[in-house]
Structure 1
Amino acid sequence: MSTLLLTRSQISELVTMSEVIDAVEKTFKGMGEGDVINPPKVHLDLGDGDSGLPYLAGMNAMPAYVGWQKIAGLKFIGGWENNPKKGLPYLSGMVLLVDPQDGRFLAVMDGTLITNLRTGAQASVALKYLIRNSKDPVIGLFGAGAQGRTQTLAACTTFNVKELRVYDVNPDASRAFAEEMTQKVNVPIQIMDRPEDVTKSCDAVISVTHAKNKFITNDMIERGVTLLPLGSFQECADGLILSVDKIIVDNVEQCMHRGALKAVVEAGKLDRGDIYATLGEIVAGKRAGRESAEERIICVTIGMGALDVAVASLVYQKALASGVGTTFPFV
């Protein structure tokens, strides 16, 4: 009944971004085929909502079963707005893996790196089916933090990216990002002074910010662009959301109540019938992805526990094969 314990540094040595992308794509396919169970996130308001608590934080519980791996698990993760000022990471999370046959807890591991890796991978998988130019795309990126880095790594793993344009509200963060990631991915990275400069003549725009001011407006997204607002924030203007040709989501239920679509749904301007497809349906071949070079597509992938469980299962299997990690008997 021993459980394998794995640290963030161990995880970073066990898997590559290419392997993470493969696991994420297989899990989306499983979602489309019905052999992945992924309930909507359960949110714990620690001050990021109406609870009145002083911590300026919130946590999500994200259970899932992944059929193609025959594994179950749970990620518990949260974000603390004041952490960067304290020199601490914004995200803090853990993943627990469970054998669905007998309830044994197989592994407990850091969830922050897994979250960043799979968030990069999920955008890369989406773009594989939705981007108009898969040969040498130009990609715009909002957010130069940890997830901006894994977005860049994943995109450059999947595509021969011609140019990456980045904007962050903190210019120092943009400069540090460009210096670090140019060396890692060997792709030209342009730092932009204004958000509207990021999106010009792009093939795709990825947003990984904490913004709530709907700064991505309708006139910023040109014909043929795929827009990916990731996470649970309010980055897209209502007019943009309501005017795109296709709205694609990772999980319909949670996207109705969180993230980019939340405000327009609550205002009665959008309902389930306006969702073109889930990304799982597209990866499984049940719905078409991009059908013309002119379509403006928004793909809202808030994030699913199934992706974290799938990547954690990959890490676990590789750790067993490599003899990495510490076992601990909880009973």
Structure 2
Amino acid sequence: MDLGTAIECVKAAFRAQAAGRTVMPAKITLDLGELGDWPHLGGSYNAMPAYVDMENLGTFAGVKWISGYEDNVRRGLPFLMSLIILNDPSTGFPLCIMDGTLITEYRTGAAAAIAAWELASKGLPRGLTASTADPSVPVSVPVKEQEGLNERECFAVTLIGAGAQGKSALRSMAALGILGDVSVVDIREDRARSLAEYVRNDLSCNATASGLDGVEAAVRRTDVIVTATTANEPLVHAEWTKPGSLVIALGSYLEVDERCVTESDAIVVDHEEQVTHRGTLVPYFKSGVLSRDRIRGEISRILAGETAGRRSPEERILAVLIGMAIEDIAVAGLVYHNALKLGVGTRYDLIS
């Protein structure tokens, strides 16, 4: 699975969502005290089941079980860890158990890049198409270098949160050719410097790094702001954003201030129901300053051309993408099919 394939796969899942070819309950959360409440174990879990019919790219059903423990960093463990189970949609037979951590990174970065493409670059040509003519070849979707794609505008990007998902967002934007100068901000400046060095060396973009004391200056000078953190207080303030800016909030916590929500010209989400109880918009729904009629639409319907995305160059847009199970199951399904074609993986008789 490469980034181009992951991006196209997530786009196909979005289109399936818009066409009504998905079944996806909202996330079920098991809270073990991620914000300090009883039982004070400092983590939480999400169960994320889904069915997705992507037509020529396949039909898949399954569930992702993902945990997040902030103290895992000092334990030498990843903050996020997950497993994905795929089932035969026709019989329920379990087909595969796989690690979901890397898939989570890939699909999160892909979703952010798609949002940037659709909302920060209105009217530019689309550049990814699936290539599945030979079923014996693993699915791979290279980023095209033709058809005028090198004429796309690159955007200055601030990334707040130098973790795996933030890095994936930058990599995915680079794969689409829209990543310009990058400002990396993190509560740990050493992590910001490390990621900035990666951006310079591996993505061939200018990059600077700072701690949280540099977040205001970074936001003020950039077009696209991506937040991928576990913050419990606002990191982005409305007065810092310039006309035409796009804020993409990927975290499950509070990342933008009230004015950033109430004064945005448009709010775009990945799933209208889900964002009412998870992610940066939750406290604003609870306080009553935000209602669902303020949401312009879901990114899937914008991608399908059913809802307007960016309506003018001056609009300030807030995109809240907290992640959907259809993205995970779609990408996992292609990984599973590619593994079968390549003859990799270990077979077990789970049910006899």
Partner of 1:179: 197
Partner of 1:99: 88
Q: What is the CA-CA distance between 1:33 and the residue it aligns to?
A: 1.2
Contact 1:202–1:225 (8 Å) recurs in 2: yes
1:176 to 1:50, Cα distance in 2 relative to 1, 3 A:
closer
1:57 to 1:302, Cα distance in 2 relative to 1, 3 A:
same
State whether structure 2 residue 175 is matched by structure 1 residue 161. no
Partner of 2:99: 110
Amino acid at match of 2:27: K
Once the two structures are superposed, the pairs formed by residues 1-331 of structure 1 within 5 Å of their partners are 15-49=1-35, 51-68=37-54, 69-132=58-121, 134-193=152-211, 194-331=214-351
Q: What is the CA-CA distance between 1:192 and the residue it aligns to?
A: 3.2
Contact 2:170–2:179 (8 Å) recurs in 1: no
Normalised by the length of structure 2, the TM-score is 0.88
Q: Distance in 1 between matches of 2:342 and 2:200?
A: 31
| Percent of paired sites with the same residue | 35
Q: Distance in 1 between matches of 2:82 and 2:180?
A: 34
Amino acid at match of 1:67: D
Q: Distance in 1 between matches of 2:200 and 2:49?
A: 36
Q: Distance in 2 between matches of 1:91 and 1:247?
A: 27
Q: What is the CA-CA distance between 1:95 and the residue it aligns to?
A: 0.6
Contact 1:137–1:159 (8 Å) recurs in 2: no
Q: What is the CA-CA distance between 1:162 and the residue it aligns to?
A: 2.1
SS in 1 for 2:193: helix
Contact 1:61–1:76 (8 Å) recurs in 2: yes
Q: Distance in 2 between matches of 1:198 and 1:76?
A: 35
After superposition, the C-alpha distances for 1:101-146 in whole angstroms (9 at most, x for unaligned) are 0111111100111101100000011111100485121111101111
Contact 2:26–2:48 (8 Å) recurs in 1: yes
SS in 2 for 1:276: strand
Contact 2:193–2:210 (8 Å) recurs in 1: no
Contact 1:165–1:191 (8 Å) recurs in 2: yes
Partner of 2:146: none
Q: Distance in 2 between matches of 1:176 and 1:248?
A: 31
Amino acid at match of 1:35: R
Q: Distance in 2 between matches of 1:199 and 1:57?
A: 30
Give ranges in structure 1 of 5+ residues lacking alignment.
Answer: 1-14
Contact 1:166–1:192 (8 Å) recurs in 2: yes
Contact 1:250–1:301 (8 Å) recurs in 2: yes
The CA RMSD measured in Å over matched residues stands at: 1.3
Contact 1:65–1:71 (8 Å) recurs in 2: yes
Q: What is the number of equivalent residue pairs in this alignment?
A: 317
After superposition, the C-alpha distances for 1:189-244 in whole angstroms (9 at most, x for unaligned) are 11135111221232211000111111211111111011101121101001110000
Which has the higher relative contact order, 1 or 2, with Cα contacts under 8 A spaced 6 or more apart? 1
Give ranges in structure 2 of 5+ residues lacking alignment.
Answer: 123-151
Q: What is the CA-CA distance between 1:253 and the residue it aligns to?
A: 0.7
